[in-house]
Amino acid sequence: MRTQVAIIGGGPSGLLLSHLLNRAGIETVVLERQSRDYVLSRIRAGVLERGTVDLLHRAGVGARMTREGHTHSGCYLTHDQQMIRMDFAAACGAAVTVYGQTEVTRDLYDAQDAIGAQHIHGVEAVALHDLDSARPHITYTLDGQSHRLDCDFIAGCDGFHGVSRKAIPANLRREYEKVYPFGWLGVLSETPPLHEELIYANHPRGFALASMRNPMLSRYYIQVPLSDKVQDWSDAAFWEEFSARMPEDVAAGLITGPSIEKSIAPLRSFVSEPMRYGALFLCGDAAHIVPPTGAKGLNLAASDVHYLSTGLLAHYNEKDSAGLDDYSQKALARVWQAMRFSWQVTTLMHHFPEHSDYDRQMQRVELMQLATNPAAQRMFAENYTGLPY
Ligand code: RFL
Ligand code: PHB
């Protein structure tokens, strides 16, 4: 089999790239290890930057997001009992859209079906070959049979645990990593959200986040030690701990219910450079991971796809390869900005086991600066709603 761009991974990066390319007449094949149902059952990100929203509209998949997504022009940071509003609209004239990654992925699959894009689910033993030659190709097995896919380019959109990144020779790859000493326990529940905007809570007992998907679906998180297991946390224990970390007057309005999903995600920052090797281009979590505190993971995947799709379009339509040559450098410049913001908000809002009283005073004064200083508010708002690309 032959295609122009072979895409490994049918998560949001792979699907969005496939859709933008197909709409421009460039042929793709998406190879995904899991079933479509499995991909659509993963509960992940919930906040879309304005750039991601614009890109989804440009890809022609924004209609349901416009109908069902919710525009948020601010969020709250709390410090014990104090609520500090970050007013994005006043600080930088921008907003974010609350619309789940699951819904973005579903819209992309539906749109891909409508144009007959090629997806192969259930592939195993995916391997990349001859990346630094004019004949790159992929081998894989499907239902026990071996297959070969020849292509011009390979997009590695296979997430942090995928095979693409490791196909770049180790001596040409530089990895940067920071592992945080805690994780987030997340609960999805069919209850009205605690508040109309997101609340990020810094509390002596640990961080908590009140988020949402829609008026009858809430997403809540609490910081937990890495040693905790999901089965250690009954729903009742979760609600009690979550309430204790929110300001008392806000927690008084919490409506609890059974969890319909409960999972623990470790927090990690990771960047692998460069994001290109010969015919291979990495996108999204395959190249970088951020802790979820800044809500940047999915949004970085979208900006990578923007740079790569623009480069591929110029290559095929105008025989201009400058965008492909610049891809790694441009994408990484934005990745590092989001790394810094995610690290800053993670450090500001969590309870670190090794923190001294001095470190906690630093968190307090930084939060007070965000509460009172328009320059600090603008910097937060610009980064949260998304730097331009
Ligand atoms: P994905 O979504 O991981 O998709 C990669 C796809 O590649 C497939 N795959 C393979 N396919 C073929 N062959 C192989 N060898 C393969 N290996 C893997 C996988 O099955 C999968 O379908 O990466 P992508 O597309 O780059 O998208 C990135 C986003 O998913 C990610 O940045 C965010 O979801 C990160 N993230 C969060 N971001 C936020 O902004 N807010 C959040 O609340 C948030 N929560 C999360 C998250 C990521 C999590 N992960 C990765 C464990 C919670 C979790 C649990
Ligand atoms: C979510 O709703 O899942 C969510 C929102 C904001 C974050 C992280 C996760 O910073």
Tens of pLDDT along 340-352? 999 999 999 999 9
What is the residue type of 73?
S
Per-residue pLDDT at 17: 98
- Among the bound ligands, name the one nearest to the CA of residue 296: 1
Per-residue pLDDT at 43: 86
- Strands (E) in 5-123, as ranges, are 5-8, 28-32, 47-48, 70-72, 74-79, 82-87, 96-98, 118-121
Residue 60 has pLDDT above 90, yes or no: yes
Tell me which of 209, 289, 300, 348 to substitute to probe ligand 2's pocket, judged by most ligand atoms within 8 Å of the beta carbon.
Answer: 209
Dist. CA 218–CA 256, nearest whole Å? 10
How confident is residue 78, by pLDDT bands cut at 50, 70 and 90?
Answer: very high
Rg (CA), the chain: 21
E strand or H helix that includes residue 294:
none
Residues marked active site are found at 72, 200, 292, 296, 384
* Closest CA to ligand 1's atom 21: 11
Per-residue pLDDT at 334: 98
Dist. CA 221–CA 209, nearest whole Å? 5
Q: Is the CB of 296 under 6 A from ligand 2?
A: no
Per-residue pLDDT at 80: 82
Q: Pairing state of beta strands 5-8 and 28-32?
A: parallel
For residue 346, what are the β-bridge partners?
A: none
For residue 119, what are the β-bridge partners?
A: 30
Convert the pLDDT of each residue in 209-248 to its tens digit: 999 999 999 999 999 999 999 999 999 999 999 999 999 9
How much is the average pLDDT of 347-359?
Answer: 96
How many Å lie between the centroid of ligand 2 and the Cα of residue 122?
29
Provide long-range contacts, Cβ within 8 A and 24+ apart, for 207-212: 207/245, 207/293, 207/349, 207/350, 207/351, 208/241, 208/242, 208/245, 208/246, 209/184, 210/242, 210/246, 211/46, 211/47, 211/98, 212/46, 212/70, 212/98
Dist. CA 333–CA 329, nearest whole Å? 6
How many Å lie between the centroid of ligand 1 and the Cα of residue 317?
31
CB atoms within 10 A of CB 283: 34
Q: For the chain, give every domain's residue range.
A: 5-73+94-177+268-345, 178-267+351-385
**Quick check: do 5-73+94-177+268-345 and 178-267+351-385 share a fold?**
no
Q: What are phi and psi of 176, to 5 degrees?
A: -120, 135
Per-residue pLDDT at 62: 97
How many Å lie between the centroid of ligand 2 and the Cα of residue 36?
23
DSSP single-letter state for residue 219: E
Ligand 1 site: residues with CB under 6 angstroms? 8-14, 31-34, 39, 44-46, 101, 123, 126, 157-163, 265, 284-285, 292, 295-298, 301
Specify the residue for token string 């022609």. Answer: 60
How many Å lie between the centroid of ligand 2 and the Cα of residue 342?
12
How much is the average pLDDT of 86-96?
Answer: 97
How much is the average pLDDT of 307-316?
Answer: 98
Q: Is the CB of 349 under 6 A from ligand 2?
A: no
Per-residue pLDDT at 167: 98
Select 178-267+351-385's CATH number: 3.30.9.10, 3.40.50.150, 3.40.50.970, 3.30.70.2190: 3.30.9.10
Please state the three-class secondary structure of 147-195 as a single string.
Answer: EEEECCEEEECCCCCCCCHHHCCHHHCEEEEEEEEEEEEEEEECCCCCC
User: Buried (b) or exposed (e) across 135-149, using 16+ Cβ within 10 A?
Assistant: ebbbebeeeeeeeeb
Convert the pLDDT of each residue in 137-180 to its tens digit: 999 999 999 999 999 999 999 999 999 999 999 999 999 999 99
Of 361, 369, 366, 372, give the one whose Cα is nearest residue 344. 366
Burial class (CB in 10 A: 0-12, 13-18, 19+), 155: buried
Q: Number of helices (H) and strands (E) in the chain: give both, helices first.
A: 12, 20
Per-residue pLDDT at 357: 96
Atom of ligand 1 nearest to the CA of 211: 43
What mean pLDDT, rounded, does the chain reach? 97
Classified as helix, coil or strand, 125 is strand
- Among the bound ligands, name the one nearest to the CA of residue 293: 2
Dist. CA 330–CA 21, nearest whole Å? 19
Residue 204 has pLDDT above 90, yes or no: yes
**Global model pTM greater than 0.75:** yes
**Per the CATH hierarchy, to which homologous superfamily does domain 5-73+94-177+268-345 belong?**
FAD/NAD(P)-binding domain (3.50.50.60)
Per-residue pLDDT at 36: 95
To the nearest whole percent, how much of the chain has pLDDT over 90?
Answer: 98
Residue 262 has pLDDT above 90, yes or no: yes
CB atoms within 10 A of CB 214: 16
* Closest CA to ligand 1's atom 45: 44
Residue 377 has pLDDT above 90, yes or no: yes
Dist. CA 13–CA 328, nearest whole Å? 16
